[in-house]
Chains A and B, each alone.
Chain A
């Protein structure tokens, strides 16, 4: 009960801060059971993706200590009309924040107030549901669905409707923005785990995803590439018989789906990789992609579902209207799961915008925190 309450609190704190958790699990870094208030002078502003920081000198008697304050993802902040110049070196601010779990002088800001004016800074408004006109999906001249923008326009695929992959028949399993289960007793509804896989998944959950390879800037292979905060886009090179998937987050990775009719490779012979060997074909309005050849160096979803080199994915992409991409994936890894299982989600179209530069390496290491 207490654990559920704490997880609920964590989820509340993290609500609206999805992008903050872009490269590492905030739950692993910050201790949501504690809150502190800092007041000090801004000495530096790092307005960089994926996580913006400013630094404040906090005086305690004759001692001055420099603290790092994480306060959001610049892309999200800019969308909400905050700018790098909103905060200036020399400003005095009052910060209510969640401190780091370790002794590092690092906090995750819950609110930042400009002391001189009393103005609250960097407050993200609650997400507003977008009105959908339910325009038909764009099509190529031959009638095939376009996965990118309508001709002459721009846009990309943005937020996923879920934060973790769960077997469809489980209906809903409650988890936070990082894929942490609200209630670990629901683990058996997530996927049909083999015993070792369930134990590994629970270990990752209990340790708050602290060993997530994505925190070391490893690529988000598998379904995870479609649930990252900064979206993705499809570049359909029909004349070359391939579709490129360009990812907005992480390391701006790209993946190739071959649609030139080539057969899938032999599992024992393909070079193992983060994005696997993918061949796709159109089944009426659905792109069906078969992928094998994954290495074991990544977690294929938020939340830490395990897999082995035997992972075989069948993904189905459809676009019922302009604004929605429906993604469904069947996971077949007999070394990890007792049977194949299917899950999925929808992704929202972001019209008229381009994916922004966003490099995991920018401030992935903690050594820049003094």
Chain B
């Protein structure tokens, strides 16, 4: 399932009230857009705690700069643009993104404290998260942002241009590079799996 936030009339009303200085209305906006923003941060940073902090920071920055928001622009795109820029900065600061798989499982344990999902579903979701995060790890922060916005937020190339303040050709070339990286990584994984299989076979012989 993907998130493509569209502004409904009630959301527009909420936004208008927030623009007029209604704090409660802004909290409602936080409630509305928490999942896409958090998802973007998580896919960019690969850690739930950091994603929570980044999402909090994103909403805080949006709140502080609400008067600079151009109502002719899409609010979710503006919000996601703040989140993407913040996550890119965070990634650049730490330089080498390390995804601890154990951490993902631990984080997921916290999330799944909610009695809703079944153990099978948790395992499947964990595996899914693990595979996706493994795929994204090692990508350049901006390439990763472009890819995440394209596939997880389903933004068009034009929307990505606006969100990241880069040209359309830059979006295209970054998407190409990110896709090539993922495909190469997938090929390497397959190759490693085959090599390991052969190694185990030779051991058993």
Partners in one complex: no
Interface, chain B (partner A; CB < 8 A):
none
